[in-house]
Amino acid sequence: MHMSHVGGSGGPYPGEEAEQPLGNARRDVDGPPTEAHSSFTLLSGNMRHISHTGPRPKGASMSVEVSEAAIAGVDLDVLDEIQRRVLWLAVRIVDAANRERQTGDGIKVGGHQASSASLVTAMTALWFAYLRAEDRVSVKPHASPVFHAIKYLLGDLDRSYLTTLRSRGGLQSYPSRTKDPDDVDFSTGSVGLGAAAPLFAAAVRRYVDAHWGSDHPRPPRFIALLGDAELDEGNVWEAIADPATQGLGNVMWLVDFNRQSLDRVVPGVRIAQWRGQFEAAGWHVVEVKYGRRLREAPASVRGWIDLMSNEQYQALFGLTGPKLREVFLDGAPAEVGEAVAGLPDDELARLVQDLGGHDLVAMLEAYAQCDAVTDRPSVVFAYTVKGHGLPIAGNPRNHSALLTAEQIATLRESMGPAGDWDRFDPATPAGILCNQRREALRRPPANVALDVTVPTATGVRTTRPVSTQDSFGKILVDLSRNERLAPYLVTTAPDVATSTNLAGFINRMGVFAPAEQRAWSPDPLLRWTEGPQGQHIELGISEMNLFLLLGQLGLSGDLHGRPLLPVGTVYDPFVCRGLDAFIYGVYSGARFVVAGTPSGVSLAPEGGAHQSSITASIGLELPNVTYIEPAFATALDWLLCDALGRIAAGPGEAPTAVPAEEGAYYFRLTTRPLDQTPFEEARARHGDAVLRRQVLAGAYSLRESNVDGPSVTLAATGAVLPEVLAAARELEEEGIAANVVDVTSPDRLYSAWRRTLRQGVRTATTPSQAGALRAAFPDRAPIVTVHDAASHAMAWLGSALGVPCVPLGVDEFGQSGSIPELYELHDLLPGSIVNAALAALSL
């Protein structure tokens, strides 16, 4: 495999020595010049009648045919006019937010004029000459003003929003699927995740097309625009190395290679390292280094630019006239000075600042070359400068700098729009192209609901002690027997499918692979056939990738027109490893089920590194997530089927009395087998209809005491219920009425209580106690909460009920041992629970 190089004269082609990347060498200069920019370096020089291919080095893989096809039918004059207007609008959007809108709090609104400017050419070429309606694009966070400017010119954003950047109800700081008014494909903001999302979206698209076919003659393209600093994020490399993302020829990452981070001009350039890492992962690499002028310049000029330090090269963008020539030639070989001696100062500036990422033809050529490679993903390194076209170009402190009022006025004059917020006249060539592209990119409405009914239960029953993890696997197998429902079920796990009880489902439904694979394992319990019709996607050991994939599976209806019922499993302690991607998925509006198992210290012999305590709190506090922790098989059956039913119905739909919920369902399960008799006794006492309603609402009365004496309530969640029931019996022997409440979802109980409080706050009325709380806790008795998780996760119940509360839980790291030994360590044994109840009664 070799690297393809667009727009350079000395790229590393077969049989040739690889050149040094721009700015790779380290040389010290006297510091960046402070002379102010006296004129603007405007986006120009991409005229349609110029020679755009230039001399190509021997062995170059960029064929003339691909180059010609890249710009066939493209009017480069019009594209250049559009990109100038895009730059103006992007800059003006940030300017208006900071200079014309009064926030009253004295805090800078912010925005990124320079970071937007570096991608204007690349994004103009994409939206106005390349994308199809079915393609999906992730825009780097700091380029959001450019994105909104493009959507405005296409007629997809109302003019009123252009002055609302970073205001309530307005344009978000960074692209947001759920909060921006225009059509955003992928939320970005958390660095690295927006880059990886299209990769997993493409994997989902491959899965969807394998199962249902495609309506498109060519696969939709999935594109990520990312900053070069995002390649410092480890999740990026986890994503490209995962087996589930291999061979995706419809993926293109475009790296805005401006060689600046938030704080500084990066001293060294790591392009050779990154290129090697991408190639090692099987990616096709394109480097867009030079624009037309530098391509046609003497080789000595390019060679000198390649050897300059990054700081020296970037300093050239803040200079004009003789000072630019002086700094450019500082340390250069004599032949470089001779080569540029005849160039006027302004021409020299245009030459040395001519990077490929700001050349429309070079970018369109790169896109075409990526299209020509269909057996693997592509990455394009587009050399740019932060702030291109602005007086702050290349300044090491320009990341969030704002143009002054005088600079805005000068830019307005040079850009020439009749009004600050004008679209193009629809009768002009630019206006006609905008209208044509709007129609070409129009999409059908999203399909987010399934026309199938998820049963209220599978009827899982057992006469022996069973764990919720084991029951989870049996329920999924039963659901896979439902012929109408089964095709939409898809499971995934980061190499923990067997140990989280997905093996039965996988044996029935198979492992997804783009092509049929021969099965070699003789193990009759692991009949993992691999092929295009498999319904389990196996990942490498990466929890970040698990949640990135679940997030994209959970958006399949919106992005691909085919809703799915995604179910993932992960070791519960390692939910924290993937938390950033978990948050990203639910922030983006994804709907899925994830089971964290085994949870807590109940997997006692594994020790502290494999024991979780704060994950319950994560589930309780994370927006757009409903956290559920049942103890008994039938309760899990009801809750899991209900969650899948809500996902199938689509957002905003509630098939039960519980209010509609958005996002994901997080089940915290355990490997500890529990006797099912207490639940069956409660079932006989309440009846299925009442009990199911209470289980779904978040809590029900598991054991009711008939002792005539002081009353206490023991509220517990999950695996600790045997100890709680034993403590209740001990308390009754001492004449204390101990009622036991099984809290199946602390999250739903808390949400119901919080809703009543919020209504009271907003209406200045006395809030009533939530119905679910009243039903499960009819007596205002002192309470003890018991949980194989951090004790504070249920401590709020005392406040909600207005009674004394003693919370018990896991508040320090565990260790290896038996369950009784570890429960003793964390005060979860019956004796400790009894003492806690006596303490609650005395408060």
Q: What is the DSSP string of 37-97?
A: P-S---S----TTS--S----TT-S--HHHHHHHTTT--HHHHHHHHHHHHHHHHHHHHHH
For residue 171 the two structure tokens come to 């344009």
Q: Is the pLDDT of residue 8 over 50?
A: no
Average pLDDT over residues 330-358: 94
pLDDT value for 64: 64
Q: Smallest Cα–Cα separation from 625: which of 657, 654, 584?
A: 584
> How many other C-beta atoms lie within 10 A of the C-beta of residue 521?
9
Instruction: Say how far apart CA 125 and CA 137 lie, in whole Å.
Output: 13
Are 79 and 169 in a shared domain? yes
* Cα dihedral 322, 327, 313, 317 sign: negative
pLDDT in tens, 694-720: 999 999 999 999 999 999 999 999 999
Residue 694 near residue 775 (C-beta atoms within 8 A): yes
| Residue finishing a domain among 605, 633, 668 | 668
Q: CA-based diameter of the chain, in Å?
A: 105
pLDDT value for 71: 80
pLDDT value for 653: 67
Average pLDDT over residues 171-175: 94
pLDDT value for 265: 53
pLDDT in tens, 647-667: 999 887 666 667 778 899 999
In a domain? residue 447: no
In a domain? residue 51: yes
Domain of 310? 4-13+27-440
Instruction: Say how far apart CA 173 and CA 189 lie, in whole Å.
Output: 8
In a domain? residue 603: yes
Are 203 and 114 in a shared domain? yes
Domain containing residue 339: CATH number: 3.40.50.970
pLDDT value for 261: 57
Q: Is the pLDDT of residue 55 over 50?
A: no
Q: Is the pLDDT of residue 268 over 60?
A: no
pLDDT in tens, 523-578: 666 678 899 999 999 999 999 999 999 999 999 999 999 999 999 999 999 999 99
Q: How many CA atoms lie within 13 A of 47 on its CB side?
A: 5
Least confident span in 56-70, 199-213, 438-452, 677-691: 56-70
Q: Is the pLDDT of residue 183 over 80?
A: yes
Are 641 and 693 in a shared domain? no
**CB environment 718-729: b (16+ within 10 A), e (fewer):** bbbbbbbbebbe
In a domain? residue 451: no
Is the bond leading into 377 cis (omega within 30 degrees of zero)? no
pLDDT value for 63: 64
pLDDT value for 832: 98
Residue 271 binned pLDDT confidence (cut-offs 50, 70, 90): confident
pLDDT value for 580: 97
Using CA atoms of 462, 467, 469, 470 in order, give the dihedral in degrees to the nearest 10.
Answer: -40
Are 417 and 312 in a shared domain? yes
Are 483 and 530 in a shared domain? yes
Q: Which helix (H) or strand (E) holds 748?
A: helix 746-763
Measured in degrees and rounded to the nearest 5, phi and psi for residue 318 equal -100, 15
Q: Which residue reads 């006794």 in tokens?
A: 681
In a domain? residue 396: yes
98 versus 633: which is more confidently predicted? 633
In sequence order, the 6+-apart residues with CB closer than 8 A to the CB of 739 are 701, 703, 704, 705, 711, 712, 713, 714, 728, 779, 781
Residue 51 binned pLDDT confidence (cut-offs 50, 70, 90): very low
pLDDT value for 56: 41
Which amino acid, one-letter code, is at 187?
Answer: S
| Residue finishing a domain among 440, 458, 492 | 440
Are 647 and 762 in a shared domain? no
Measured in degrees and rounded to the nearest 5, phi and psi for residue 11 equal -70, 160
Instruction: Say how far apart CA 73 and CA 436 lie, in whole Å.
Output: 13
| Residue finishing a domain among 668, 700, 724 | 668
Instruction: Say how far apart CA 587 and CA 609 lie, in whole Å.
Output: 29
Q: Is the pLDDT of residue 45 over 50?
A: no
Are 230 and 119 in a shared domain? yes
Residue 520 binned pLDDT confidence (cut-offs 50, 70, 90): low
Residue 109 binned pLDDT confidence (cut-offs 50, 70, 90): confident
Are 393 and 490 in a shared domain? no
Residue 205 binned pLDDT confidence (cut-offs 50, 70, 90): very high
pLDDT value for 765: 82
Measured in degrees and rounded to the nearest 5, phi and psi for residue 95 equal -60, -45
Are 657 and 613 in a shared domain? yes
For residue 338 the two structure tokens come to 């001779």
Using CA atoms of 529, 534, 535, 540 in order, give the dihedral in degrees to the nearest 10.
Answer: 60
Average pLDDT over residues 234-261: 92
Residue 811 binned pLDDT confidence (cut-offs 50, 70, 90): very high
Instruction: Say how far apart CA 592 and CA 77 lie, in whole Å.
Output: 47
Residue 435 binned pLDDT confidence (cut-offs 50, 70, 90): very high
- Is the pTM above the cut of 0.75? yes
Beta bridge partners of 379: 253, 285
In sequence order, the 6+-apart residues with CB closer than 8 A to the CB of 196 are 224, 235, 236, 239, 548
Beta strands in 79-176 (DSSP E): 136-138
**CB environment 472-504: b (16+ within 10 A), e (fewer):** bbbbbbbbbebeebbbbbbbbbbebbeebbbbb
Measured in degrees and rounded to the nearest 5, phi and psi for residue 131 equal -65, 150
Residue 184 near residue 144 (C-beta atoms within 8 A): no
Q: Is the pLDDT of residue 834 over 70?
A: yes
Instruction: Say how far apart CA 166 and CA 187 lie, in whole Å.
Output: 15
| Total domains in the fold of the chain | 3
Q: In what order do the strands lie in the sheet with 136-138?
A: 4-6, 284-288, 378-383, 251-257, 222-227, 136-138
Which amino acid, one-letter code, is at 104?
Answer: G
Instruction: Say how far apart CA 598 and CA 610 lie, in whole Å.
Output: 9
Domain containing residue 747: CATH number: 3.40.50.920
Are 654 and 737 in a shared domain? no
For the chain, the average pLDDT equals 88
Are 319 and 402 in a shared domain? yes
Residue 18 binned pLDDT confidence (cut-offs 50, 70, 90): very low
In a domain? residue 752: yes
Q: Smallest Cα–Cα separation from 596: which of 615, 620, 577?
A: 615
In a domain? residue 56: yes
> How many other C-beta atoms lie within 10 A of the C-beta of residue 746?
28
Are 699 and 601 in a shared domain? no
Average pLDDT over residues 621-634: 97
466 versus 463: which is more confidently predicted? 466
Cα of 211 vs its chain's centroid, Å: 25
In a domain? residue 456: no
Q: Which long-range contacts (CB under 8 A, 24 or more apart) does 506-509 make?
A: 506/536, 508/477, 508/480, 509/480, 509/534, 509/535, 509/536
Q: Smallest Cα–Cα separation from 398: which of 268, 266, 263?
A: 263
194 versus 260: which is more confidently predicted? 194
pLDDT in tens, 726-782: 999 999 999 999 999 999 999 999 999 998 888 888 888 877 766 778 888 988 899
Average pLDDT over residues 118-141: 97
Beta bridge partners of 227: 256
Instruction: Say how far apart CA 391 and CA 374 lie, in whole Å.
Output: 40
